[in-house]
Amino acid sequence: MAITTEMIKTLRESTGAGILDCRKALEQSNGDLNAALDFLREKGLATATKRSARQASEGVVELYSHGNGRVGVMVELNSESDFVGRSEVFRTLAHEIALQIAATSPEFVAESDIPESVIERETKIATAKAKEDGKPDAIMPKIIEGAIKKFKDEFVLLNQKYIRDESITIQELINQKIAALGENIIVRRFARWALGETTSEASEE
């Protein structure tokens, strides 16, 4: 199947990947846009793994206000260079992450940020509920494991499903942009406030 400029443009707008990468992905998938997107996602994951150890201290602090000022979000997104930090793809990613935080109220950036006391609390809650439901002791560890995973998927930003595309997580979204931009990208910290809340917390990596 012939690869058209329009196909490349569509894939590039969806992923932020470079023109040559988009062409290669479309050629590999015989023009199938969905398969090409999967190809770029896999490439992004491999690239992100290689670059994850590289220092990232440039970037942007994105501010977002939602609902006529009823919810406010501040998120720091880091890149390796100021050049990438000022790019449209990077700035758009920062805005999308701020939107995600406003919509889903995560409590932590990454799993490593969760205090052990929180895991212990969730374990106790899951154990008590399982016993109340009459679940046998033999399957208790699996039930607790499932409950902890559900908690992490809901309250850890990088684990959350992307609100615009639930087939990928926020980490996978970031991986796509790492592949497109060629630099490590890190969510350093965020804060979310809602009007009338008595307390507010910032989460940080």
Q: What is the CATH number of domain 58-110+156-204?
A: 3.30.479.20
For the chain, the domains span 5-51, 58-110+156-204, 115-143
Q: Is 198 helix (H, G, I), strand (E, B) or coil?
A: coil
Q: What per-residue confidence (pLDDT) applies to 43?
A: 67
Phi (first) and psi of residue 186, to 5 degrees: -130, 135
Class of domain 5-51: mainly alpha
Reported pTM:
0.69
Q: What per-residue confidence (pLDDT) applies to 56?
A: 67
Name the one residue in this structure whose structure tokens are 């009459």: 134
Same CATH topology for 5-51 and 58-110+156-204?
no
Q: What per-residue confidence (pLDDT) applies to 205?
A: 43
* Six-digit token string for 82: 């100021």
Could you tell me the CA-to-CA distances from 138 to 121, 124, 125, 146 in Å, in that order? 21, 17, 18, 14
* Six-digit token string for 175: 């991986």
User: Whats the size of the chain, residue-wise?
Assistant: 205
Could you list the pLDDT tens digit for every one of the 205 residues in the chain?
A: 788 888 888 877 766 666 788 888 888 888 888 888 777 766 665 455 555 556 666 899 999 998 888 999 999 999 988 899 999 999 999 999 999 999 999 999 999 999 999 999 999 999 999 888 888 888 888 999 999 999 999 999 999 999 999 999 999 999 989 888 888 899 999 999 998 876 544 444 4
